[in-house]
Structures are given as C-alpha cells and as structure tokens.
Amino acid sequence: MLNLGKSLNWKRTLFGKQERHVKRNHPIDQDLSDLLGRIREKMMELKHPPLEELTPEQSRFFYKEARTFFNPFESDGIQTHNVYVGEGNIPVRIYQPAGAEELPVFLFMHGGGWVFGDLDSADSLCTYFAKNAECLVISAGYRLAPEHPFPAALQDVMVVAQWALQNVRHWNGNPAQMAIGGESSGANLAAAAVLWMKELGSCPFQLQVLITPVLRHQFETDSYQSGYAFNLTKEKMEWFWNHYVTDARQGSHPFASPLNAKSHKDVPPLLLVTAEYDPLRDEGFQYAEKLKNEGIHVKHLHYSQLVHSFPNMIGQVKSADSAMIELAGTLKTMLRDRFLFLIENENYSRIER
C-alpha cells in the first residue's frame, strides 16, 4: 500500500533530438517557432545533450539557462511576501495586488516535471495572474524528485493548501473564493491534491485550474504518438516520470495519475487549458470529458497554434499573450462570479484558437 504519510485535518529540438514535422490543421505560431529556435541555438552552444542523458543536477542548470529567454512580467502594483510553511519550512511566495479590498485567492504550483523549477521560475506567471486576474496568488514550493520522490511533493502541497485556507485573510484573501491549480507537473499536483482532499472528506477549494496538465502515467495517446517534437517530447516525459515514481504501479496511483481515479464526483469545477502541440494534450481532453460525464462543470480553453509551457512566453509570442489574456479573464470571472458563470455558460466548452 502506498504510504502517504500523516493525514491532514480536512532540426534539433530544444534538448537535442531531430525535430519531426507533422502536418496539422493549424501551423505552430511563427513567433513561437522563432523563440524556440533561439533557445535551441543557445542550448547547442552550451553543448546540451538530450535530457534523457542528463542527471537531474545537470538538467537544472540547462533549465535555468533556457529560462533566461523568457521575459519577466512587470510587477508594478504587486507586493510580494516570502514565508516558510510547516515543519519542513516549505517556501511560499504571496503576490498581493495593491488596495484594501478582499481578494479571491489562487494557490499555484510551478511546473518543471517534478524535477526542476522553483518559486523564481514561476515568478512572472504568478505576477501576471495577480495583476490580470486581480487575485491574491500563493505560489507554493515543494520538494523535488528524484531526491524526494512521489508522494513528497504532493504532501508539501497539502500542507501549504491547509495553511493557505487558514491564513489568507492576513493578506486580504477571501477563503470562500479560492482556486487551486498549476502548470504541467504543478497542475498534476493540484489535481491530485483535490482528490486527496475529497478522500479526506471534501475539497474546500471552489475551482481547480489545470494548465497543460500531466494527468496519467502513460505514453500511448495520439498526442504522444503524433511525431512532432517541440519543447516537450515523449522521451522527456518518460525521463520525468522515471525520476518521480519508483515503478509503474506507483505511477498508476490516482494521486500520481489523477485520470485513473475511479470517481471525480464532488470535485470543484474545472478550468482546463490545453495546447495543440503538446504530448499531454489528449490526457487533458480525456480529463475534461471524464469530469463532464460525472456532472462536474468544465471550462476548457484549447489553443491550436501553441505548445507546452506557452504561458511562460508572455511578451514574446503574440498568440501566447492573447491566450493568457483570455485565461486570466476567465479565471477572474470564475473566481469572483462562479455561480453566475456556471449558469450562463455551457457545462463544457472547447475553444479553438
């Protein structure tokens, strides 16, 4: 049985492989392709081998180098506060918009394949959400694999979630208007945390926000097999998973693969974001369909010219800018006027861009 610890109260691609081109109905955004090309050239300059040939320590170095290509988002009007939470001193950064009014709250987990990433790598994105979704953002750090394999990161997220629910009023946050979410592996942790809270009794968050999420330990969907390889590939995802879980049995646990949960009844409404050129695309579609079939309200934003990690390309790729404006606006509406939003919108919508 999985030990989850104490329960709680409540050409070449970027990393070295030859790119394979596949015809799609919507070509990849040209600005995005140019940006990936510049990153690719830098990685070749640094003699970056394929990710699957690197140790985690080596991969973290190249990850930080690649992130220097992403523009920081202006933080005017946003105050930040750094705190440490729980017995493990989990790092947390709070983004508070100016003003005294009570704010909705977004608890956010960074991406990085459970192996790299930190509060700094999520800084621009969290600043963007605080400013454009007009909410208090709580960015949660967590222990990284393989030094701390599954379920260590999820345990940290659960500790931060409990802390956030009890403490957001200190920064004018409203505990009755809270979303939990993240990007990529961070979205995986958010979805798993929702399931764990439900198992413990109920999930106190009003919304889950999953941005290009990892949802199942498998590699057989059409989007994995399609043949295109931009910034994320099947080989890279296998490498990430191999560092996160010890074996396939552990990887199939619903807290590692939320799509495998027998029931999603009574989970919060879902705001889902997927990208066409992303091997994780199809598991996102499957998750949306599964929740919809169980009576959960789903808002699904799909972007047909973008790739995995496009939210980090704010200010450099116009179609990513447009997508993020829409995402932030949707998040703002669903947090502030959730019930009105659900009444006025279809249960399930997929927006092609």
Is residue 104 assigned to a domain? yes
Quick check: is 308 catalytic? yes
**% helix / strand / coil in the chain, to the nearest 5?**
40, 20, 40
Quick check: is 252 catalytic? no
pLDDT in tens, 41-82: 877 887 778 888 899 999 998 888 877 777 777 778 899 999
The pLDDT of residue 12 is above 90: no
The pLDDT of residue 284 is above 70: yes
The domain that holds 298 is classified in CATH as: 3.40.50.1820
- Annotated catalytic residue, options 29, 123, 156, 278: 278
Prediction pTM value: 0.90
pLDDT, residue 227, reads: 64
- Annotated catalytic residue, options 184, 185, 309, 319: 184
- Annotated catalytic residue, options 156, 185, 308, 319: 308
Which range marks the domain in which residue 319 is found? 30-351
pLDDT in tens, 133-154: 999 999 999 999 999 999 999 9
Is residue 22 assigned to a domain? no
pLDDT, residue 11, reads: 30
Non-local CB neighbours of 278 within 8 Å, separated by 6+ positions? 212, 223, 232, 306, 307, 308
Between residues 248 and 100, the one the model is more confident about: 248
Into how many domains does the chain fold?
A: 1
Gap between the Cα atoms of 84 and 295, Å rounded: 37
pLDDT in tens, 124-133: 999 999 999 9
Instruction: Please compute the mean of the pLDDT values over residues 279-295 and round it to a whole number.
Output: 97
